[in-house]
Structure 1
């Protein structure tokens, strides 16, 4: 065992922690933080082999403790408390978009001035929509989790294109944000989404929502009713007679997981009986424990009126009626769900042909029971999926190039000789603006129990940083408005991560391991820190909740800003190591030099044999080196 006392820097670090607490927070007794510090020292990173790797993180962590004292196309996973390793509800989300900027939204909660309103915008263009009055008080929202630990994610499906309400007043993002500001539970979020859509009209395509609170997880799918323009002679104005939306929400059984990825997945559901299934006309029964299905009362009748469905009510399938499956929906969307399910549930091979678009009749279940409990780390790994280990692995076909790049630039489909071809669409993709995994934990009060693990840019090359629901602000490098998709800011998280990922894309197989080392260094540290932060925050919360929020703010802000600093260091390292297609030899991040200590030791990585053979097959003797002529020229 390593003797903890033999590391003076660690002892100094913990002394700083204790002195800071003792000097600036008299409400915290020294014994409580002594236990906190000892708990940290017992972690795996407190070892000589890892100490120097973590030294800057340690200093940053010490700083946050000191500061605490004074003062679209997307892939979503849903994990119920009974299916998670720590009993938390978890959902994930990725804002995949070619125009989206990665930033951490923050909505301050509390009392609102009379006349305050929420301005809805269409996320696809920023077109202003309805102004919606706010209640007297709202909840604080960090990203997509509120102080009550209600979290919402989404993925868009198109469905019947004629159902887009061109006169609608709120889009899917507005529904999410308003619900988070006003909903104390997942069920209330469903109710609010339904009510807002009915009152203001739904200005979006079809949408799947992941909605979680500390006790349960729901999937909700919604689509508009189109624009049926009528004229009111009395008011002398036109209106949409079909304003609103049709939708269904189902509670994921505890112990199970679900997922959605840009295609509607809810099929049949129990019809309203006032017990396990209710409609939006029975919201008075919303919080009855046995309720597990909620839906718009006209979801079936409207489909009949539009001639989408003519069967018995019991056979009505939301997905089949409002978003019929086709090859693209399977291959580009359901394949991402299948790829996650197969990692944790036996028997998913039977659905491979469905997921790949070859057999559209063998639909996957909406939820599955995993053979093991899932953690935040598991969901992060799933977010980095590019069908590796399957016959469809993006690194294994010629499109990956000689350096095994698991990305394909858009467009997704392309025409050649009158035929349409495509590139795989995987969970990990270059155009992600931001992504997250949320935890809603019933054993903690809201500000501590809610965590959004937030990252920007490509999920495969990002780092997920824990942001607590109780923080008072976002880190500067992540905050909304710090740079934009049209404004480069050199220390903004989005631009720093894009800078590194684009450098790695150039020779992916050579560089990705260097990125993985730093990625693991940070994410493993954060996962080790969180239990200790939880404990310390709870001790503070029991004495003064406001001090606990200060403490959590300093932690999350410090870790966020440090992550960007560490990623900038990684960029500089990669630039030096791989300059001009060479590789400079190094050991543990230190570059080796010749015997005189002046110049680096440089290697020239060769192209893989299959790539060289491809060149010869395509060019014949164009690049053949002719030995005889070379000898004659020498003479």
Structure 2
């Protein structure tokens, strides 16, 4: 008996197979992560900055500190593949071993977020998926995005060193992920490193890296942004040696036309308004004088801000959901108040799940999904990372960390030399479901509650978080002055205790306050949502 399969069935099977590998995509595009970077002359204090919102529906919520190690000769390190797993309380990723690569003699201490974000030498990383051409992704490779971040912070001290190592390792052992942008900072400069696979069944990678000018700010929001490249200008570009060859072999480009990396290797990403609108918003908030078009297909790789940016400004940007613009998803959700005036309903919510967008007929740049805002209800954690060359590494590198939706959260400092985190930060929140032992659940519950009556509840939340955030930023210099005294007196154990204690104190303080705030909202707004 002959068995036939229709072309439509094959197409459906292919689509299901592809999308089962990338559950954090939405509408055919990556839907996770925004990263903003700033050179040292673009910030008020001279920090080099990278950042990351880990926007995901299944990435792990816990984090810890990994110590540096000395490894024996011949040691190896295991590479893993992320596999969606839905048999526990909540969706997660399983990490299945797929091979090993040689270990180095010494690995450095690092802050082990889901995408390891900073090591003890102030090497820092942000991340954003841009997808790229489906046919370039190769399961023959061993190294995925999370593993590459880990290898970078374990083995490297500078951004250039990390990019060079990434090229060598993925060239030899293979890149297994879809297209990714890693935003890599050190004490002096910050780069955007964009990488795609070599093609189905092949081992290798194709990549380009571009440095952000010292007086500029750049953003990656799930679309490739590197355009023209100049491999001869090593101050600003690094590329794989096969970057033109693979493009020619696959008819992505011919030598008679300009070579634009984003259009050669990830053309679909430039069609996504979900990505482009965020690019516009970041640039418009830091450089409104440019008067950029919110509907443009392309923006500059980076822009010079109208004035240097502060930590406070970056927090504002990461909390943004287009409020007050034509892209505000709450603008038409109005009621008539007691005075007869038409106002936005207090129940109007910019952080609606997609099903609610359908219910309220929200429309926007992302169709029925509305607008893809910078602040998201499914952010697992967010970082703003300072790298500072005028301070010792122990003090100069600091990860400002928020959990869940930044718009209803607060950033606390984790210095790159700390030796521990509060227990609740190390406790998994997803595999076993809701637990008051997990820091992430404190903020996830608070963010979910706040969104139910956003017009009122957000003010209750900000009344608590804003003074605390201001206190942390205002006290940073004084706190670090004491740390610097301990460093100069070579009291390194006391210094570690001082820095770690500060993170522990504030970590526990904000988690306790998040639980209290959630209880307050339940009580104050009973029967009002």
TM-score, length basis structure 1: 0.71
- The answer to whether the Cα contact below 8 Å between 2:380 and 2:405 also exists between their aligned partners in 1 is yes
| Aligned with residue 409 of structure 1, among 353, 367, 370 | 353
Answering whether residue 198 of structure 2 is matched by residue 256 of structure 1, we say no
Aligned match of 1:560: 507
Aligned match of 1:22: none
- The answer to whether the Cα contact below 8 Å between 1:476 and 1:482 also exists between their aligned partners in 2 is no
Aligned match of 2:207: 247
Q: Take 1:211 and 1:323, find their aligned partners in 2: how far apart are those partners?
A: 20
| Aligned with residue 322 of structure 1, among 265, 270, 273 | 265
Aligned pair count reads 470
Aligned match of 1:81: 40
Aligned match of 1:7: none
Aligned match of 2:110: 141
Aligned match of 2:25: none
Cα deviation for residue 451 of structure 1 reads 0.3
SS in 2 for 1:81: coil
Q: Take 1:555 and 1:138, find their aligned partners in 2: how far apart are those partners?
A: 26
Answering whether residue 281 of structure 2 is matched by residue 339 of structure 1, we say yes
- The answer to whether the Cα contact below 8 Å between 1:413 and 1:420 also exists between their aligned partners in 2 is no
Q: Take 1:189 and 1:206, find their aligned partners in 2: how far apart are those partners?
A: 18
- The answer to whether the Cα contact below 8 Å between 1:119 and 1:129 also exists between their aligned partners in 2 is yes
Aligned match of 2:15: none
- The answer to whether the Cα contact below 8 Å between 1:103 and 1:434 also exists between their aligned partners in 2 is no
Q: Take 1:303 and 1:268, find their aligned partners in 2: how far apart are those partners?
A: 14
Aligned match of 1:58: none
Aligned match of 2:65: 106
- The answer to whether the Cα contact below 8 Å between 1:414 and 1:420 also exists between their aligned partners in 2 is no
Q: Take 2:356 and 2:83, find their aligned partners in 1: how far apart are those partners?
A: 19
Q: Take 2:73 and 2:472, find their aligned partners in 1: how far apart are those partners?
A: 41
Aligned match of 1:376: 311
Aligned match of 2:246: 302
TM-score, length basis structure 2: 0.84
Cα deviation for residue 311 of structure 1 reads 3.1
SS in 1 for 2:41: helix
SS in 1 for 2:53: strand
Q: Take 2:99 and 2:293, find their aligned partners in 1: how far apart are those partners?
A: 43
Cα deviation for residue 436 of structure 1 reads 0.5
Cα deviation for residue 434 of structure 1 reads 0.8
Cα deviation for residue 117 of structure 1 reads 3.6
Answering whether residue 101 of structure 2 is matched by residue 166 of structure 1, we say no
Q: Take 1:497 and 1:485, find their aligned partners in 2: how far apart are those partners?
A: 17
Summarize deviations over 1:498-546 as a string: whole Å, max 9, x none. 1111111111101110001111122112112321221111111122223
Q: Take 2:174 and 2:332, find their aligned partners in 1: how far apart are those partners?
A: 45
Answering whether residue 227 of structure 2 is matched by residue 292 of structure 1, we say no
Cα deviation for residue 466 of structure 1 reads 0.3
Answering whether residue 321 of structure 2 is matched by residue 386 of structure 1, we say yes
SS in 1 for 2:224: coil
Q: Take 1:259 and 1:487, find their aligned partners in 2: how far apart are those partners?
A: 34
Aligned pairs for 1:416-455 (under 5 A) are 421-455=368-402
- When the two chains are superposed, the root-mean-square deviation of aligned CA atoms in Å is 2.3
Q: Take 2:488 and 2:103, find their aligned partners in 1: how far apart are those partners?
A: 31
Structure 2, unmatched stretches of 5+, are 1-30, 85-94, 335-343
Q: Take 1:338 and 1:180, find their aligned partners in 2: how far apart are those partners?
A: 31
Q: Take 1:474 and 1:317, find their aligned partners in 2: how far apart are those partners?
A: 43
Summarize deviations over 1:318-374 as a string: whole Å, max 9, x none. 001111146751x100111110110121344342221xxxxx3xx210000001111
- The answer to whether the Cα contact below 8 Å between 2:346 and 2:454 also exists between their aligned partners in 1 is no
Aligned match of 1:549: 496
**Pair 1:217–1:225, CA change in 2 (3 A):** same
Aligned match of 1:40: none
**Pair 1:131–1:179, CA change in 2 (3 A):** same
- The answer to whether the Cα contact below 8 Å between 1:500 and 1:567 also exists between their aligned partners in 2 is yes
Aligned match of 2:154: 181
Aligned match of 1:222: 195
Moved more, 96-105 or 333-342: 96-105
Aligned match of 2:5: none
| Aligned with residue 226 of structure 2, among 266, 285, 291 | 266
- The answer to whether the Cα contact below 8 Å between 2:216 and 2:302 also exists between their aligned partners in 1 is yes
Q: Take 1:226 and 1:398, find their aligned partners in 2: how far apart are those partners?
A: 47
- State the structure with more CA Rg: 1
Q: Take 1:534 and 1:402, find their aligned partners in 2: how far apart are those partners?
A: 41
| Aligned with residue 118 of structure 1, among 77, 82, 107 | 77
**Pair 1:463–1:326, CA change in 2 (3 A):** closer
Aligned match of 2:171: 198
Structure 1, unmatched stretches of 5+, are 1-71, 229-239, 278-290, 355-359, 583-635
